[in-house]
Amino acid sequence: MKIYTLHKSERISSKLLIDKMFEGGSKSFSIYPIRVVFMQVEKQEIPASILISVPKKRFKRAVKRNRIKRQIREAYRKNKYALLDVLNQYEFGIAMAFIYLSAEEFDSSVIEEKMKIALAKIGEKLE
């Protein structure tokens, strides 16, 4: 039985890792309205860690930014096991950033569908 949780330890908090991820050495692709940036890291107790970003430039109000972050977090939480099953075969972990691209809000079901596609694509790119 899988417990669908998202612990604090699954979030990226290391400034060094974030800088390394965005200055190069990582792969990225877009599945509108989400851009995914990911890179391999040495395996820790958590095989996959995430970062979620919603630009202030597109959403001035924190309420809207937080809602979108919550939608992305929830979509990842529900669908992460498809990726984790693939990652268990490898000797490395993965760090991912989900960046929201659109200037408009989408329904949670749309974001969840895009998240499923994104996680499947990451799994394919690792193989």
Per-residue pLDDT tens listing for the chain (127 residues): 677 888 999 999 999 999 999 998 899 999 999 999 999 999 888 899 999 999 999 999 999 999 999 999 999 999 999 899 999 888 899 999 999 999 999 999 999 999 999 999 999 998 7
Residue 86 lies in a domain: yes
Q: Which domain holds residue 37?
A: 10-126
Residue 21 lies in a domain: yes
Residue 98 lies in a domain: yes
This prediction's pTM: 0.94
Residue 23 lies in a domain: yes
Residue 4 lies in a domain: no
Residue 75 lies in a domain: yes
> Which structure tokens are listed for 49?
């860690």
Beta strands in 2-85 (DSSP E): 27-31, 34-42, 48-53
Q: CATH code at 94?
A: 3.30.230.10
Residue 54 lies in a domain: yes
Residue 3 lies in a domain: no
Tally of structural domains, the chain: 1
State the Cα angle at 8 between 116 and 82, rounded to 5°.
Answer: 25
- In which residue are the tokens 């690792």 written? 126
